[in-house]
Amino acid sequence: MSTIRKRRLLLPLAVAATVGFALTACTGDIANESAEDVDCSEYEEYGTYEGASVTIGGTIVDIEADRLVESWTDFSNCTGIEIDYQGSQEFEAQIAVLAEGGNAPDIGFVPQPGLVERLADGGWLIPASADVEANADEWWTEDWKAYGTVDDVFYGAPLMSNIKGYIWYSPSEFEENGWEIPATLDELRDLSDEIVAAGDHKPWCVGLESGVATGWPGTDWVEDYVLRLQGADYYDQWVTHEIPFNDPGIVEAFDEVGEYLKNEDMVNGGIGDVSTLVTEAFGTAGLPILDGECSLHHQASFYETFWNAEGGDEVTVASNGDVFGFMLPPENAGDPLAVTGGGEIVTAFTDAEEVEVVRTYLSSDTWANNRVSLGGVISANLGVDPENASSELLVQSIEILQNPETTFRFDGSDLMPGAVGADSFWSGIVDWVTGSDTQSVVDAIEASWPSS
């Protein structure tokens, strides 16, 4: 071999080596090597499965996904089950297609009971093992267990939760003006009128824009009002279509919400007039509260992280801080709290021992406490110690969830068929706030309800 030939070989080899080294930095080698010795006594009951691996798909992305992965690292190291999580915002749209093609992940975190039902009807889901069911019975209420149950078959336990129906406000503004936290819906209305009368800004700020899902924050409003005005039984019949969508009770709830959302005096504080509801992104809509241009903002518990959009902790979320939330009150003073909320169901597409072991762990109080301690989320798992939650609001949310007096109902649009819950209900809200009357909107949504 001549020297020229040697040189020709040397360069590509050098390049390949450099690229190889650079790639090791991107891959998980280093993380694997630095896995410390953890105390595995907690995980002994699960046994060890050397070389087993489980893939998980879900809608959770970015920092939330990192925390999720962190929450099962110890379990993974102790049991030897490698867990590979892939988050995608298109997960809900793709999972049925993947399942039908036989390419679904082993486990799917499905955020909608309606979708669980559809996947079960397609025959793609593996019923939960006895261990998972035992955990569900021990750590979750009947309501929550029912969300993973289709036709009396239990397909999966819940994972995390969020509570909707918080009204965000500025505690200092309330104190200065001597406003009380409303205890009934009427008091909330009186408070709003009082702010309107004061005349220096509109009381509510609302944002419904959310890309292809524009309109969903408005469905939360309607669901909250249906649950409070018509009660839990009515709500259950509404989401299962035993009560039609254009029932007078639903119209009433819409009109009550319309008193705020379609009222030029009430919205849109610090943003503009009523027409800006559909252009204002849901993530930024509450921020005028910080400038005193708006006093009230209706959004779920997850909105806590949106106050500091840039990260950091400039805005303090606490009952004596810059902003805090109170639960949308019941209709009559002293009624027990009724809250709507959401969560994920841990479904399985692969029938394997290691998959069930992972599901068992995810439905245990150990995991729930692990994840809640990492911050930013809550779980309805009854074994969670509220004090583990990362903020005052989340502690309060867990206490609401664990209170036996609380009536909890899953977000209605997630329970309805996709044609309504992920399509016509959203677009109906958009039409409604941009001028259509209530009756024609609920009639259109009713007409879109699939026949089968």
Partner 1 sequence: MTTEDLVGKILQVVMGLVVFAAIVGLLIFFIDKAPKKGRDYWQLAGFLLPALILVAIGLVWPAIRTTFLAFQDNSGAWSLDNFVWMFTQPAAIRTLINTVIWVLLVPTFATLVGLAYAIFIDKSRGERYFKALVFMPMAISFVGAGIIWRFVYEYRSGDREQIGILNAIVVAFGGEPVQWLQTDPINTILLIVVMIWIQTGFAMVVLSAAIKGIPTEQIEAAQLDGTNAWQRFRNVTVPGIRGSIVVVLTTISIATLKVFDIVRTMTAGNFNTSVVANEMYTQAFRASEVGRGSALALILFVMVLPIIVYNIRILRQQREIR
Give the residues lining the site for partner 1 (CB under 8 A).
20, 23-24, 27-29, 32, 92-94, 96-97, 115, 118, 211-215, 271-273, 275-276, 278-279, 417-419, 422-424, 427, 430, 434, 444, 447-448, 450-452
Asked if 100 and 125 touch (Cβ cutoff 8 Å), the reply is no
CA 173 to the chain's CA centroid: 29
Q: Are 249 and 229 in contact (CB under 8 A)?
A: yes
> Apex CA 177: angle with CA 326 and CA 302, to 5°?
25
| Residue-by-residue DSSP string for 193-247 | HHHHHH-SS-SB----B-GGGTTHHHHHHHHHHHHHHHHHHHHHHHHTTSS-TT-
The C-alpha atoms of residue 27 and residue 404 are separated, in whole angstroms, by 46
Least CB distance from residue 43 to partner 1, whole Å? 22
Using alpha carbons only, what angle is made at residue 414 by residues 251 and 389, rounded to the nearest 5 degrees?
A: 115
> Exposure pattern of 54-79 as b/e (b: 16+ CB <10 Å)?
bbbbbbbeeebeebbeebbebbbbbb
CB of 14 to partner 1, least distance (A): 18
- What is the C-alpha separation between 37 and 122, in angstroms, rounded? 43
Percent composition of the chain: helix, strand, coil (DSSP 3-state, to 5) = 50, 15, 35
Query: Cβ-count burial of 288 within 10 angstroms (0-12 exposed, 13-18 middle, 19+ buried)?
Result: buried
The nearest distance, CB 30 to partner 1, in angstroms, is 10
- Coil, strand or helix at 401: helix
| C-alpha–C-alpha distance, residues 408 and 143, integer Å | 7
Whichever of 10 and 419 has its CB closer to partner 1, that residue is 419
In angstroms, what is the minimal distance from the CB of 193 to partner 1? 23
Tell me the closest approach of the beta carbon of residue 444 to partner 1, in angstroms: 7
Place of tokens 């004090």: 387
- Least separation in angstroms between residue 31's CB and partner 1 is 9
DSSP letter (8 states) at residue 423: I
What are the structure tokens assigned to 362, written together? 């995810």
CB of 249 to partner 1, least distance (A): 24
Of residues 146, 331, 315, the one with CA closest to residue 240: 146
How near is the Cβ of 172 to partner 1 at its closest, in Å? 25
Query: Dihedrals φ, ψ of 393, to 5°?
Result: -65, -40
300 closest CA partner among 444, 127, 165, 147: 165
Q: How far is the CB of 93 from partner 1 (least distance, A)?
A: 4
DSSP letter assigned to residue 180: P
Q: Which residue has the tokens 């793609």?
A: 124
Closest CB 209 distance from partner 1, rounded Å: 9
Q: Which residue, 28 or 248, has its beta carbon nearer to partner 1? A: 28
Nearer to partner 1, 36 or 176 (CB): 36
